[in-house]
């Protein structure tokens, strides 16, 4: 049973996002970005209440801007998904989770050391250039469920 319901279009969207946000961090880095997308879809808490589809997660607007920088700036996100990213996207939609993105709802590249918190949420770890943050305890229990 997959972690969330999805369509072939969702696989392509997640694949494009994974490539745009983390292609330089290899397959594991792209899987971690994909995991954050799935976590946001599952969360239904904090900034992610009411998101019922992968498309809503990827095109979510917060504070007048898209939540993901790749969507906002365009860059590689608007290129078609390649087979390798589609396989990785399907993997994360179906089952893949790993530290530090396992329960994370946020990530970013600070171009410096990772701060201990991000918008008040605790740092869970770093993979290459990206810092990952998960919700504070008891603020988003749904992200901790499979």
Q: How many CA atoms lie within 13 A of 2 on its CB side?
A: 17
- How confident is the model over 3-31, as a mean pLDDT? 96
How far apart are the C-alpha atoms of 55 and 27, rounded to whole Å? 22
pLDDT of residue 77: 80
**Mean of pLDDT over the chain:** 94
- How confident is the model over 63-71, as a mean pLDDT? 92
- How confident is the model over 121-143, as a mean pLDDT? 95
pLDDT of residue 137: 85
pLDDT of residue 144: 87
Q: Residue 112's pLDDT band (boundaries 50, 70, 90)?
A: very high
How far apart are the C-alpha atoms of 140 and 75, rounded to whole Å? 31
User: Which residue in this structure is represented by tokens 């990206």?
Assistant: 130
Examine the pLDDT at 76 and tell me if it is beyond 80.
no
Examine the pLDDT at 1 and tell me if it is beyond 90.
no
Q: What is the share, in percent, of the chain residues with pLDDT greater than 90?
A: 85
pLDDT of residue 84: 97
**71-91: string of b/e by CB count within 10 Å (b at 16+)?**
beeeeebeeebeeebbebbbe
């Amino acid at each position: 049973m997959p972690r969330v319901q999805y369509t072939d279009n969702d696989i392509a969207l997640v694949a494009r996002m994974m490539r745009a946000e983390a292609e330089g961090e290899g397959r594991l880095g792209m899987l971690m970005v994909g995991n954050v997308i799935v976590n946001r879809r599952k969360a239904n808490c904090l900034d992610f209440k009411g998101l019922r589809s992968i498309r809503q997660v990827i095109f979510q607007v917060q504070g007048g801007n898209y939540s993901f920088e790749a969507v906002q700036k365009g860059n590689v996100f608007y290129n078609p998904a390649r087979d390798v990213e589609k396989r990785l996207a399907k993997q994360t939609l179906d089952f893949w989770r790993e530290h530090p993105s396992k329960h994370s709802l946020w990530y970013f590249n600070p171009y410096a050391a990772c701060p201990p918190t991000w918008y008040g949420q605790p740092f869970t770890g770093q993979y290459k250039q990206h810092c990952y943050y998960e919700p504070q305890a008891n603020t988003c229990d749904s992200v901790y469920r499979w």
